[in-house]
Amino acid sequence: MVTADYSDLIEHARAAMSRAYAPYSNFPVGAAILTDTGNIYSGCNVENAAYPLGNCAEASAISSMIMGGDNSIAAIAVAGFGDELCTPCGGCRQRIREFADEATPVLIGDNNTIRYTSTLGDLLPLSFGPDNLN
């Protein structure tokens, strides 16, 4: 069982946000994953002149996690500016679902502050995941 330090996790997401490549939307996003093994992986959005090819921050963080040899998300933090909460997009909710369950905390923040704490189950109810294929 991991004792999560969520303020540390949102700090990692904020640091990742500062590395975003978002020249088209000018909307930098950072994500940080705490794994069940206690490791932290982060990622930022990476846009492309061919707009649909851009990657979300959560997808980048998941790629980093897999490359690091982990595959179980204990908590995930997402950081982005704006009046509205920078909640994970629908596609990223499903990406997170692959490696998390309904109780997994999803922390939404901005510049080093957690603004809202949710769970994956609240963001993606009645989800379809790996167990559905058993």
Q: Any idea which residues carry the catalytic annotation?
A: 58
Cross-strand partners of 109: 79, 114
- DSSP secondary-structure letter at 132? G
Binding ligand THU (rule: CB under 6 A), the pick from 92, 100, 123, 124 is 92
The H or E element that residue 73 is part of is strand 73-80
Binding ligand THU (rule: CB under 6 A), the pick from 19, 27, 101, 114 is 27
Under rule CB under 6 A, residue 58 binds ligand THU: yes
3-state secondary structure 74-92: EEEEEEECCCCCCCCCHHH
Q: Stretches 8-16, 63-71, 87-95, 120-128: which one binds ligand THU (CB under 6 A)?
A: 87-95
3-state secondary structure 21-52: ECCCCCCCEEEEEEECCCCEEEEECECCCCHH
Q: Closer CB to ligand THU, residue 62 or residue 74?
A: 62
Buried b (16+ CB within 10 A) or exposed e, 23-36: eeeeebbbbbbbbe
Under rule CB under 6 A, residue 15 binds ligand THU: no
Under rule CB under 6 A, residue 106 binds ligand THU: no
Q: Stretches 33-41, 55-63, 97-105, 116-124: which one binds ligand THU (CB under 6 A)?
A: 55-63
Q: Closer CB to ligand THU, residue 1 or residue 50?
A: 50
Contact residues: ligand THU, CB under 6 A: 22, 25, 27, 29, 45, 47, 54, 56-58, 88-89, 92
